Amino acid sequence: MATSSVLAAPSPTGARAFLKRLRSGDEVARLITLAFATSILLVTVGLLYELWIGSALARQRFGFGFLTSSAWDPVSERFGALPFIYGTVVTSAVALIIAVPLGLGAAIFLAELAPPRVSSTFTFFIELLAAVPSVIYGLLAIFTLVPLMRTVVEPFLSRTLGFLPIFKGAFYGVGYLTGGVILAIMTLPFIISISREALLEVPTEQREAALALGATRWESTWQVVVPYARLGIFGSIFLALARALGETMAVTMVIGNDPSIRASLFAPGYTIAAIIANEFTEATGEIYLDALVGLGLVLFLLTIVINAVARLLIIATTRRGSTNP
């Protein structure tokens, strides 16, 4: 994007040249838009900076032990991030275990089997699901999902699979499992929508070649098309994971708010986002507040890493797709 410069002769001083360039509207426009664009950079850096200094006391007191300690005791001022990291990871894992097979199956159906009209109508509705605010999912979860879990699903799991450590113990309706289920519902639209697009990008020649070689429709899909689109599919999974990690409201309302580490999925737990939402306005004491900001920093770094991996995967798959003749 070369800027227009009318005069061929170079100007003596840098400042003069700059001012001369300023006369052209293009340069002004470039600078203005550049300024706005830089604001994004400033905000991101500022965010990281505020999180860093806002958690200074906690980092000084606990160091890396903050990440491995499972205490959360405001009375004795001992804080550790482990129960919340655990809760965040467990609920997200449950969400993915439920949502990925379901989402991938739906995406395959919509991309491969459904007639185009059905496919776009279904996709339209599913993408509307993605627009529903989190607090509304929470509202629905409290009054429908939690009783359902407590009276139907969890007793059933306890009776049939109760020998497994993850399904042992008392169930209350709230807890890791319910948190995971609501997250699954919330991340489903992302997985379906992005995986479907990745599948649609696969050239028809691939499918036809497989079928010509005698594969069944399913074999062509599962053994040829899906692997071809796997990078995009993984990308969608990572994006869904990033969303699940940061999800606040719906999870806060059904997680049980108990900062402990338990093996059973029926047990109440806590996630990073949930405890910040619950305790931020009330943390009395500097270390307490800094510990919460420190949790925010941990969450921020986690989502950065996941997002970076997801973007790389999606870029790789689109590049792959477009270089094929």
Q: Which is nearer to another protein, 93 or 109 (CB)?
A: 109
* Distance, CA of 178 to CA of 173 (rounded, Å): 7
Residue 73 sits in the site that holds another protein (CB under 8 A) = yes
Q: How far is the CB of 56 from another protein (least distance, A)?
A: 12
* Distance, CA of 69 to CA of 80 (rounded, Å): 4
Q: Which is nearer to another protein, 1 or 13 (CB)?
A: 1
Residue 205 sits in the site that holds another protein (CB under 8 A) = no
State the number of binding residues for another protein (CB under 8 A). Answer: 111
Binding to another protein, residues 134-193 (CB under 8 A): 134-140, 142-144, 146-147, 150, 170, 172-174, 185, 188-189, 192
Tokens 């097979």 label which residue? Answer: 101
Residue 59 sits in the site that holds another protein (CB under 8 A) = no
Residue 87 sits in the site that holds another protein (CB under 8 A) = no
Q: Which is nearer to another protein, 12 or 318 (CB)?
A: 318
Q: Which is nearer to another protein, 11 or 303 (CB)?
A: 303
Q: How far is the CB of 191 from another protein (least distance, A)?
A: 9
Residue 124 sits in the site that holds another protein (CB under 8 A) = yes
What dihedral do alpha carbons 131, 317, 235, 130 form, nearest 10°? 10
Residue 300 sits in the site that holds another protein (CB under 8 A) = yes
Q: Which is nearer to another protein, 35 or 67 (CB)?
A: 35
Residue 315 sits in the site that holds another protein (CB under 8 A) = no
Residue 43 sits in the site that holds another protein (CB under 8 A) = yes
Residue 47 sits in the site that holds another protein (CB under 8 A) = yes
* Distance, CA of 311 to CA of 175 (rounded, Å): 31
Q: Which is nearer to another protein, 138 or 180 (CB)?
A: 138
Q: How far is the CB of 246 from another protein (least distance, A)?
A: 3
Residue 319 sits in the site that holds another protein (CB under 8 A) = no
Query: 150: which residues sit within 8 A by CB, 6+ positions away?
Result: 171, 172, 173
Task: Render 46-57 in DSSP notation, one character per residue.
Answer: HHHHHHHHHTHH
Q: How far is the CB of 81 from another protein (least distance, A)?
A: 14
Among the candidate windows 9-17, 47-55, 59-67, 159-167, which touches another protein by CB under 8 A?
Answer: 47-55
Burial of 258 (0-12, 13-18, 19+ CB in 10 A): middle
User: Which of 238, 244, 213, 220 lies closest to 317 in space, CA to CA?
Assistant: 238
77 in Cβ contact with 291 (< 8 Å): no
Q: Which is nearer to another protein, 13 or 322 (CB)?
A: 322
221 in Cβ contact with 108 (< 8 Å): yes
44 in Cβ contact with 278 (< 8 Å): no
**Site for another protein (CB under 8 A): which residue of 95, 157, 231, 253?**
253
Q: Which residues pair with 73 in a beta bridge?
A: 78
Q: Which residues pair with 78 in a beta bridge?
A: 73
Query: 145: which residues sit within 8 A by CB, 6+ positions away?
Result: 178, 181, 182, 254
Residue 170 phi/psi, 5-degree rounding, is: -75, 150
Residue 22 sits in the site that holds another protein (CB under 8 A) = no
Residue 52 sits in the site that holds another protein (CB under 8 A) = no
